[in-house]
Structure 1
Amino acid sequence: MTLLELSVEYREHARMLDLRICQLEAVLERTRNEKQRLMLEHRIHMLSTMLREARELAVLTERYYERGYRRNAKYTL
């Protein structure tokens, strides 16, 4: 698998995460139980972190070989 193919996979993963976050936010709006709300908020926070990282990695793998591309320091050795 090439890095460009991998970037497509990361973008698809990000799309699915975004969809799930939207679903959970809709449930959160209807939930009145405080314990359930806290659990949903925590899950949304975790998925949002995963979404951000999937998007960052999609860009990184997509543009890895471009001249002048300044990589995110978070993903360099």
Structure 2
Amino acid sequence: MIRGSCFLLLVALLGVCAHRTHAATAAPRPERAGAVRSGEGPVLPFIQDDYAKALALARARKLPLFIESWAPW
């Protein structure tokens, strides 16, 4: 009985190891249609220290204006 249990445990462990090896060597999945690749440029342009330009672009495109502010304390 112990011998049979050890055999079943060994088979189960080998199955788990084989599954992990297969997952690690599997071909990469195709990307989703809306996924953004890291090699592409920024999705949203960042306008630094030019409030008038940012406001004009936001009004022209009818988009909200996001202002990032922080304090170094």
What TM-score, normalized to structure 1?
0.35
Higher relative contact order (CA 8 A, sep 6+): 1
Looking at secondary structure, tell me which structure has more helix per residue: 1
What TM-score, normalized to structure 2?
0.37
